[in-house]
Amino acid sequence: MVRAGATHHADDVFAVLNDESERTTIAASWRRCLTRHKLDPERPEPPVVLCGFELREARGVAGRMLRAADPELDRLHDLVVSLGYAVFMTDAQGVMVARRVADMDESACRRWRLWPGAVWSEALEGTNGVGTCLAEQRAITVHRDQHFRTRHTCLTCTVSPLFDAAGRLAGALDISSFRPDSTGAVLPLALAATRDAARRIEARCFREVYAKALIISLPEAGDLDTKSLRCT
């Protein structure tokens, strides 16, 4: 891979290949991007956006999860919009299939390709909230220069995976901001809010699939009390 004229950020990315002591999730993702996906951190092109037909097809496949997510996307957006975040949902391939964005952020979202049909898989876009969450199948925050591509280092993305009623990876719930936040002070709140919303979406989807079944809900681990059992 050509490194002529590489930025300081790109140099940091390439450095992980020679530093095996770096065992963080981000470093592991950067290595995958360089060695498995053969990506260039300096590539300037924006993410691919699917055509209308392809987006409709992706939304059709995600139909049940989309229906379950609809009220939770509104609720999450109401919670985080004042912090400068927009809310997105993707399918299991990293295609954005739903979003909640403030009117004043529409043009910026278009510029950053935080847009319906945009493909944010790790294999195409390198380390990013959606793509790396899907690759790791766990909640993650990718903050600014933790992104693989230099183009994305102004973004902060907190993402939680979504699993369907059979436990299969079905997509990701993402809150993203393109506003500067060098301290990352709100990131713990963002991660907790995203995880909580993802659990509610999964629960809604599960109840829709098993609408005719008796469902016994248990409290969170460590808080088990037989009086807390609920049947729905």
- For 97-149, what is each residue's pLDDT tens digit? 999 999 999 999 999 999 999 999 999 999 999 999 999 999 999 999 999 99
Place of tokens 């993203």: 176
Q: Which residue has the tokens 């992706």?
A: 58
- Euclidean distance between CA atoms 197 and 81, whole angstroms: 15
Dist. CA 132–CA 135, nearest whole Å: 5
Q: Which tokens in the block code for residue 49?
A: 């956006």
Query: Which amino acid, one-letter code, is at 73?
Result: L
pLDDT at 209: 79
Instruction: Tell me what pLDDT residue 207 has.
Output: 87
CATH number of 52-216: 3.30.450.40
Return mean pLDDT, the chain.
89
Contact yes or no for 2/10 (Cβ under 8 A):
no
What are the tokens at 212? 């005719």
